Structure 1
Amino acid sequence: MVSSLDGAVAAGGAGSQGLSTPADRELFRSLRRAAGVVLVGAGTARDEDYRGVRPRRPTADEPVPGPPPPVAVVTGSAALDPAAALFTDTVTAPIVLTTAAAPPDRREALRAAGAEVAVLPDLAPGTLLGTLARRGLHAVLCEGGPTLLGALVAADAVDELRLTLVPVLLGGPAGRIAAGPVAAAPPRGMRLAGHTAAGDGTLLLHYVRPGGAADARTVHPPNE
Structure 2
Amino acid sequence: MKTTLVLAMTADGKIADVTKSPPTFGSDRDYAHMVEQILLADVVLVGSGTLLDGNESSEVREPDRALIQARIDRGQTPQPPQIICSRSGKIDPQLPFFSQPIERWLLTTKKGSLDWIERASFGRVLVCETADGSDIDWQAVKVKLAELGVENICFLGGSELAASLFAADFIDELWLTICPFIYGGSAAPSPVSGVGFTSDLAPRLRLLSVDRVEQELFLHYQVEKKSEDIPPT
TM-score category of the 2 structures, normalised to the smaller one: 0.7 to 0.9
- For residue 112 of structure 1, what is the aligned residue in structure 2? 120
Residue 101 (structure 1) aligned with residue 114 (structure 2): no
- For residue 183 of structure 1, what is the aligned residue in structure 2? 197
The whole-number CA distance in structure 2 between the counterparts of 1:171 and 1:47 is 20
The whole-number CA distance in structure 2 between the counterparts of 1:40 and 1:138 is 17
The whole-number CA distance in structure 1 between the counterparts of 2:178 and 2:108 is 32
- For residue 220 of structure 1, what is the aligned residue in structure 2? none
- For residue 161 of structure 2, what is the aligned residue in structure 1? 148
1:192 to 178, 193, 207: 207
Question: Contact (CA 8 Å) 1:52, 1:94: kept in 2 or not?
Answer: no
Give runs of aligned pairs for residues 1-224 of structure 1, distance below 5 A: 1-11=7-17, 13=19, 15-51=21-57, 53-54=59-60, 57-58=65-66, 62=70, 64-65=72-73, 66-67=76-77, 68-91=79-102, 93-102=103-112, 104=114, 106-108=115-117, 111-122=119-130, 123-172=136-185, 173-181=187-195, 183=197, 185-199=200-214, 201-209=215-223
- 1:2 Cα deviation (Å)? 1.1
User: What secondary structure sits across from 2:34 in the alignment?
Assistant: helix
User: What secondary structure sits across from 2:23 in the alignment?
Assistant: helix
State the one-letter code of the partner of 1:6. D
State the one-letter code of the partner of 2:152. A
The whole-number CA distance in structure 2 between the counterparts of 1:192 and 1:100 is 39
Question: Contact (CA 8 Å) 1:165, 1:202: kept in 2 or not?
Answer: yes
The whole-number CA distance in structure 2 between the counterparts of 1:52 and 1:87 is 13
Q: 1:64 to 1:151 in 2, by over 3 A?
A: closer
Question: Contact (CA 8 Å) 1:97, 1:117: kept in 2 or not?
Answer: yes
For structure 2, the residue ranges without an aligned partner over 5 or more in a row are 1-6, 131-135, 227-232
The whole-number CA distance in structure 1 between the counterparts of 2:71 and 2:126 is 33
User: What secondary structure sits across from 2:112 in the alignment?
Assistant: coil
Q: 1:45 to 1:63 in 2, by over 3 A?
A: closer
TM-score, scaled relative to structure 2: 0.78
State the one-letter code of the partner of 2:49. G
TM-score, scaled relative to structure 1: 0.81
Q: 1:7 to 1:115 in 2, by over 3 A?
A: same
| Number of positions where the alignment pairs a residue of Structure 1 with one of Structure 2 | 208
State the one-letter code of the partner of 2:23. Q
The whole-number CA distance in structure 2 between the counterparts of 1:79 and 1:135 is 25
Q: Bigger shift: 121-130 or 140-149?
A: 121-130
The whole-number CA distance in structure 1 between the counterparts of 2:225 and 2:71 is 36
Cα deviations across residues 186-220 of structure 1 (Å, max 9, x unaligned)?
A: 22221111111111x111111113589xxxxxxxx
User: Identity percentage over the alignment?
Assistant: 25
